[in-house]
Amino acid sequence: MKLKSFPATISICLLALVLVSFFSAPTAAENPDKKPLNLKTLFAANASNPRIKPGDIDGDSDESKATPQDAGYWFDKGALCATYGNDRAAVKYFQKAIALDPSRTGAYFEQGISYGQLGHFDRAIPLLNKAIEMEPQNGLYLYGRGRVLLLNGKEDLAMADFIKAAEYEDEDAQMYLEHIAQLKKMATQRPRQNKSQR
């Protein structure tokens, strides 16, 4: 008898759950302008506009409105593409942001990083230089240029940027230099260990 009642109990519980959620959720007729609140809507809203707060899912606040004529709109799209590895699209979006707001230093930097990821070092370095020229004490920009120089095989120039970025207290540069120092220390200790084992 218990086995026969178990499926019936599950069915009744599921029916009750559906009815409760149906009657407790606001209907679309009450507020047709609101998008339904679900995780997909929340993630899509935050991905396209990170200024949207969880309580403002529909994005109707004046603060969160972005248009294609807004440099921030294109910068955010570029940053999203770069985050997910679509650097080709990111480069185009950062270019649109720069065209709308040539004083947006971060767009030059991010476009340079994306070009570096694509292996277009001849395009990346001038953009990174422009960002550093606009904000010479930004350690992140120096570290980013160092990474692109390292990808390009220019280790000496990259190391100079890492050292300068660390002086400006960029944590990534400091960690990188510490890591390199540890590797050098380990490399010098190995030959001694090999000689003592003979």
Q: What is the pLDDT along the chain (198 residues), one digit of tens a residue?
A: 444 565 555 555 545 544 444 444 444 444 444 444 443 343 444 444 444 444 443 444 444 556 788 999 999 999 999 999 999 999 999 999 999 999 999 999 999 999 999 999 999 999 999 999 999 999 999 999 999 999 999 999 999 999 999 999 999 999 999 999 999 899 888 766 666 565
Q: In this predicted structure, what is the pLDDT of residue 82?
A: 97
Q: In this predicted structure, what is the pLDDT of residue 188?
A: 86
DSSP conformation class of 176: H
Which residue is associated with the tokens 């109990």?
Answer: 9
Sequential DSSP letters for 104-173: -HHHHHHHHHHHHHHT-HHHHHHHHHHHHHHSTT-HHHHHHHHHHHHHTT-HHHHHHHHHHHHHTT-HHH
Q: In this predicted structure, what is the pLDDT of residue 35?
A: 44
Sequential DSSP letters for 58-123: T--SGGG---TT-HHHHHHHHHHHHHTT-HHHHHHHHHHHHHH-TT-HHHHHHHHHHHHHHT-HHH
Domains and CATH numbers, the chain: 33-197 (1.25.40.10)
CB 114 within 8 A of CB 87: yes
Q: For residues 81, 45, 95 and 90, what is the CA-based torsion angle, rounded to 10 degrees?
A: 0
State the Cα–Cα distance between residues 84 and 68, nearest whole angstrom.
21
